[in-house]
Amino acid sequence: MSVATDTPARSEENFRVTRSRRNVAWTGAGALIVVVVLALFPYIVYSGTTSLMVQAFIVITLASMWNLLAGYAGLVSVGQQAFVGLGAYFVLLLAQHSLSPFGGLPLAAIGCGVAAVPMWWLISRLRSGYFAIATWVLATAIMLFIERFPSIGGGTGMSLPGLSGYDPTLLIAYTYWIGLAVTVLSLVTVYVMLRGRIGLVLTAIRDDEVAARSSGARVGLARMLVYVVAAVGCGAAGALLAISQLIVQPGAVFTVQWTAIMAFAVIIGGLGTIEGPIIGAIVYIILQRTLQSYDAWYLIVLGLVAIGVALFARRGLWGLIDDHLNIRLFPVGYWLWTPESSSRPGPGRRGPGRSGIRARRGGRHS
Amino acid sequence: MAWVNAIIQGILTGGLYALFACGLSLMFGVMKVVNLAHGDLAVIGAYVALGVITVTHIPALWSFVIVVPLMAVLGYVLQRTLIQAALDRGVLITLLVTFGLSVVIESGLLQFINADSHSLGVGESIVTGSFSIGSQIQIPYLLLLIFAVAVVVLLGLQYFLSLSSYGRMIRAVADDQEAAQLSGIDYRHVFGIAAAIAFGTVALAGIAYGMYSQFSPTTGTDTILLFAFAAVVIGGLGSLWGTLLGGIVLGVAQQIGAQINQADQVLAGYLVFLLVLAVRPQGLTARRAQS
Amino acid sequence: MSERTDNGGTPLLEVRDLIVHHGQLRALDRVSLRVFPGEVYAIIGANGAGKSTLLRTIAGLHQPTDGAILYDGKDMTKVRPERRATRGIVMVPEGRRLFGSLTVEENLKVGAAYARKGPWTIERVYELFAWMKDRRTQRTAQLSGGEQQSVAIGRALVANPRVLLLDELSLGLAPVIVQRIYAMLPQILSTGLTVLLVEQDVSQALRVASHIQCLLEGHTTLEGRPSEVTAEQVEAAYFGLSRAAAEGSEPLWHGSTPSSRAS
């Protein structure tokens, strides 16, 4: 029909679609090395550092789950502490019935996934802001409910049985290894989900929900799946928390501060990327350590920095690194190479003369 | 008879909850902002009132004369700067920013004041004490006053929105922001006005709560925000009077729960909230189900 | 080419080499136009040609990537939409966009809130649309399409604009209703307004316009007076059947040509 925008015919072989600019196999190998080195930590470092690492694992796991919810599925939950608490209490319950907490952890995580289903059904019809508060109400209601039972500690809490027989250093080492396993598993799960069909559906929903529905994408199912996976992850982190603290107190495990920590870590690190939560968690730990003696200061600083980043550097620290170095360690987007660019290798720059056109799959507002 | 007393208390407390909720509803209705810092702002109002009373020695009842306008101005400024900036960047960022604000406010209060509870008290005003009906029913004057204030505020809001030209502009902007711009309306200014009103009611709510009960840095979220939200959902999103109904239902549910088991008061309210969410998610006053 | 610039006046509204993007898509590619006082200037073109984008950019709802918008000789490109409305550029948006929860009269009152001084009042709008006064307390959501369109026009009129922008008046309306609405145009113009309209219905546009401009995929393919262009030229410009139109952004026909005047 119109001659005006007729372009010279291009054959399909001239276009290439790849997952990343450089070979990702190097990243995979690098990650494996990092994991192996981390696994050796208990043999190398003092137990004080090992404990710190366990804390880091908890935060990294929580952050990557919150990132999955908010950065990819667009679900802002300020009630993830519900699953942190449930995970801890499931472990407590199982330990009271003679199951070792280490064995109880996976069961607790699954239990949280199961609990997430009716919870999702209750609140999924609410729109984003009200959905957020509803998650908070749910978490509070669950906490109030659990506090009624003195057998699991009531309002004051209870210590975790089943671990007193262990040698302290060994206990920390085992906790560490379980923590490492949980973290690696969480990150791998998120990565696999996003590269698979779920990731595609989530991007479609993010771009245009109505169009996504009408083209057959199971929007509700995808979102529920994400919510359940996040519940499992947070539950595992909660169980890990219980194991590392050896005590389960409702006020400590159900506090909304966990959501604050998760959310702020993700925002500062970089919403909508897999690397972001890791960086954000590290920043959080550093902040918490440095400002530890100043009571609530670290939360004030964390909150202010998060607000600042959300407004002015939306893609977070990792976004800044990404912009300058153009790397993705765990790529979930696509690169489109047009015929013009194939002849010009090397890093492209933003703006009109750019070679590869990158369709970034992660992140709602990148 | 104790039950009747409990139910009456619950109904009257509903007025307080409606006061909590109307600011939240207003901001959502006009600008589609769910202000997660809503409750904390009420607590700030209460602390400011405490400060004003301590310094000027005016009776607690009159503290609102200073605090409400102050908070209204704060609302306008915060809306034109922080919240508008967040709104320009999307729903997600807005939620994150208001959540961040909530955490910063609470942590700030904890850091600079302390974690103790305070109460504004009622001083030697006429609202101390209660009147009795029969031997078992006691109605505190303060609660009655708060309920009356809530009704007055809701009536005022309703008349303002439906009859005044500013109210008309607010409704127009809420309907269609762009079309309002085409009619010469600066929607950012209108948002600011709506926020000022919302913050004003929130300050009133904070003072009311501070007189009725005790408040601390965490009251904002533990009590005010969550109760406000529960009242809105139970009553029905988008209806001012529905919020009063929701508040009443919440209050009554809590009092009945307290009659059964004192410790279950708050939980009982949330259970009713979850019930409404399960069975009639559009709320009690909405006419048809929203998808 | 001729009489419009001959009188030496400045155009009331001028657009110079406007480039507008929707994300990465170039919606308008160096579009220019000039509207003189008292004219009815119609922009026609197929879906997606960029007509509404042009109007919305003139109204200020969209920021151009490049180019300028001048009003009464002054650069308005950076002025906010609400300021443009109070200065006299008022748009009746595509799809009516009435305030659904407000009544007819409330819609008009909102339109009049920041109005300039001028002949149009709410009462005068009621005179223009005879049915409206009796229904003024009805919510606009309950009105028919044609009635809503009338209210939307009324809402714009009470602001006393100098330039009235009409975006796709005929959208979703029966032809009879459309004709009735366009029949109001002379009364509107008689109060000193200038009209810039966007219309998908080409014959309707040709009937009311004093000048037309055709857009195709973001650039101008035709410009001139209805009396000076043939149906074939319009068709060619509308669908872009000529290579000459496609390759440059120069309009295909400009003003009058001896051959067409003979017919």
Q: Where are the domains of chain B?
A: 22-221
> Are C246 and A4 a contacting pair at CB < 8 A?
yes
| Residue closest to B35 by CA, chosen among B186, B209, B155, B191 | B191
Please write the tens of the pLDDT for every residue from C36-65: 999 999 999 988 888 999 999 999 999 999
CB-CB under 8 Å, C243 with A2: no
Residue type, A289: R
Inter-residue contact A17 to A334 (CB < 8 Å)? yes
Residue A200 is predicted with a pLDDT of 79
Residue A7 lies in a domain: no
Given a cut of 80, whether residue C17 has pLDDT beyond it is: yes
Q: Which residues of A touch B101 (CB under 8 A)?
A: 303, 307
Q: Which chains does A contact via 3+ CB–CB distances below 8 A?
A: B, C
**Along chain B (291 residues), what's the average pLDDT of each consecutive run of 10 residues?**
87 94 92 93 94 87 92 97 94 93 93 84 68 79 92 95 94 95 96 96 94 89 91 86 94 94 92 93 69 34
Token pair, residue B223, equals 């009590």
Q: Are B254 and B13 in contact (CB under 8 A)?
A: yes
Sign of the torsion angle spanned by Cα atoms B281, B15, B21, B46 = negative
Which whole-number Å values give the CA distances from C227 to B223, C131, C214, in the listed order?
Answer: 73, 35, 15
- AA letter at C232: E
Whether C262 is covered by a domain: the verdict is no
Tokens of C200: 């998908």
Chain A contacts of B97, Cβ < 8 Å?
307, 310-311
If one counts every other C-beta atom within 10 angstroms of the C-beta of residue C61, the result is: 17
Record: contact B175-C99, CB cut-off 8 A: yes
- Model confidence, pTM: 0.86
Q: Report how far residue A61's alpha carbon sits from residue A230's, in angstroms, rounded to the nearest whole number.
A: 10
Strands C74-75 and C66-71: antiparallel
The count of domains in chain A is: 1
Rounded CA-CA distance B104/B95 in Å is: 14
Domain housing C197? 2-254
Q: End-to-end CA distance of chain B: give it in Å, rounded.
A: 42
Chain C residues with CB under 8 Å of B180 CB are: 99, 110
| A352 at interface of C, judged by CB pairs closer than 8 A | no
Residue with tokens 């009058």: C256
State the DSSP code for B223. Answer: I
Q: Which residues of chain A have pLDDT under 50?
A: 1-9, 341-366
Give A13's contacts (C-beta < 8 A, 6+ positions apart).
none
Q: Any idea what the CATH number is for the domain that residue C25 is in?
A: 3.40.50.300
Phi-psi region of A295 (alpha: psi -120 to 50; beta: other; left: phi over 0): left
Give the model's pLDDT for residue A60.
96
Report d(CA C225, CA C1) in Å as an integer: 10
Q: Does B189 touch chain C (CB under 8 A)?
A: no
For residue C167, give the amino acid letter: D
Determine, for residues C245 and A6 on separate chains, whether the beta-carbon distance falls below 8 Å: no
Which residue is closest to A3 within chain C, CA to CA? C246
The answer to whether the Cβ–Cβ distance between A4 and C245 falls below 8 Å is: yes
Quick check: C213 pLDDT over 80? yes
Count structural domains, chain C: 1
- Across the interface, of C60, C61, C102, the residue whose CB is closest to B172 is C102
Partners of B130 in beta bridges: B140
Task: Give Cα C123 to chain centroid, integer Å.
Answer: 24
- Which residues on neighbouring strands pair with residue A16, listed in sequence order? A337
Residue C107 to residue C110: CA distance in whole angstroms: 5
In this prediction, residue A213 carries a pLDDT of 75
Would you say residue C107 lies in a domain?
yes
The whole-angstrom separation of Cα B72 and Cα C223 is: 54
Tell me the C-alpha distance between B272 and B262, whole Å.
Answer: 16
Quick one: which of A319, A324, A298 has its CA closest to A366? A319
Backbone angles phi, psi at B241, to 5 degrees: -70, -25
C219 contacts A4? CB cut-off 8 A:
yes
| In a domain? residue C168 | yes
Distance from CA of C138 to the nearest CA of B (A): 14
Question: Hunting for tokens 């008061």 — which residue is that?
Answer: B265
Q: Under an 8 A CB cutoff, do C159 and B183 touch? A: yes
Q: How far apart are CA C229 and CA C224, in angstroms?
A: 7
Beta bridge pairs of residue A359: A334
Mutate to test the interface with A, among B31, B104, B276 (most CBs of A within 10 A): B104
Which residue segment(s) compose the domain that A108 sits in? Answer: 12-359
Put simply, whether A7 touches C (Cβ < 8 Å) is: no
Helix/strand/coil for C158: coil
Angle at the Cα of B241 from the Cα atoms of B237 and B244, rounded to 5 degrees: 90
Structure tokens at A185: 């598993």
Chain A neighbors of B90, CB-CB under 8 A: 364-365
Residue C223 pairs with which residues in a beta bridge? C213, C254
- Pick from C80, C97, C109: CB nearest B178: C97
Q: What is the pLDDT of residues C71-88, one digit of tens each?
A: 998 999 999 999 999 999
Query: What subunits touch chain B, counting only 3 or more CB pairs under 8 A?
Result: A, C
Q: What are phi and psi of C231, to 5 degrees?
A: -60, -35
What CA–CA distance (Å, rounded) separates C69 from C61? 13
- What distance in Å separates residue A239's CA from the closest CA in chain B? 24
DSSP string, B154-219: HHHHHHHHHHSHHHHHHHHHHH-HHHHHHTT--HHHHHHHHHHHHHHHHHHHHHHHHHHS-B-TTH
Strands C163-167 and C13-22: unpaired
The domain that holds A67 is classified in CATH as: 1.10.3470
| Residue B183 to residue C81, Cβ atoms within 8 A | no
Residue B79: how many CB atoms within 10 A of its CB?
A: 25
| Contacts B28 to A, Cβ<8 Å | 129-130
> Chain B partners of A140 at a C-beta cutoff of 8 Å?
222, 226, 270
Subunit contact A78:B263, Cβ cutoff 8 A? no
CB contacts of A148 in chain B (<8 Å) are 263-264, 267
Helix axes B38-56, B187-212, angle to 10 degrees: 60
Residue of B nearest to C161 (CA): B183
Q: What is the pLDDT of residue A322?
A: 77
Phi-psi region of A333 (alpha: psi -120 to 50; beta: other; left: phi over 0): beta
